[in-house]
Amino acid sequence: MINFIKNICKNLGNNNKSIYPVIAIATANGICRPTFTMLKKGENPESKKYAALREGITEFIAVPTYWVSGVLAAKFGEKVASKAMDLHFKAQEKKGFFLANEVKQEMKSSAIRKGKAGLMLIGVCSAAGIIIPALCSVCVTPIMKRLKPKTENQPKKLDIKESFVPNIVVTQIKTPQKFIDNAVFKSNVSCSGMRVGGI
């Protein structure tokens, strides 16, 4: 068991690629995040299913996208590095510096390895920042809109085409038929002895 783990670590160290960690993270997120979402207590079951499904679909799209973007970028990097080294050798030969074929192959292999690693990293970053969000907008959002649960408290949207007729209750004010005849309002008020102004 120890030798098996040691061989895996050795192979990963010798063939270290930027797509390996991101694919591992996306796979772990695709398993763990929906599981943790469904284990939340006190949440609406339909909302939990909706959120878990969205997370699972997103990571399901992310894993192959990381792989394809990284591999294509690495192949492009290999071609660019190989062509750049050929031009470099030709420029050196014009100046009068000639290298042995073994040295050329070694330098070319080193440049190709660096070019593949660098452009693979750029491809993975491009996938994370541009390609995967675009794919999720195109694929995931329409699917989840159809599966989104409808809540009771969700306000109903007003269609502009519908004619809005307000429900107004008209109340008629009736004129009183009888005058108020109360002794309280007929009491005599004496105003004698009152002065306006100071003493």
Share of the chain above pLDDT 70, in %: 72
What is the pLDDT at residue 184?
A: 53
- Quick: pLDDT tens for 110-136: 999 899 999 999 999 999 999 999 998
- Residues 41, 121: one domain? yes
- Residues 50, 130: one domain? yes
- Residues 120, 166: one domain? no
pLDDT band at 158 (very low <50, low <70, confident <90, very high): very low
* 43: helix, strand or coil: coil
- Residues 170, 143: one domain? no
Measure the CA–CA gap between 135 and 97, rounded to whole angstroms: 50
pTM: 0.65
For residue 69, the enclosing domain spans 2-147
- Residues 121, 192: one domain? no
Measure the CA–CA gap between 72 and 124, rounded to whole angstroms: 10
Measure the CA–CA gap between 172 and 105, rounded to whole angstroms: 101
Q: Report the number of distinct structural domains present in the chain.
A: 2
- Residues 138, 87: one domain? yes
What is the 3-state composition of the chain as percent helix, strand, coil, each rounded to the nearest 5?
65, 0, 35
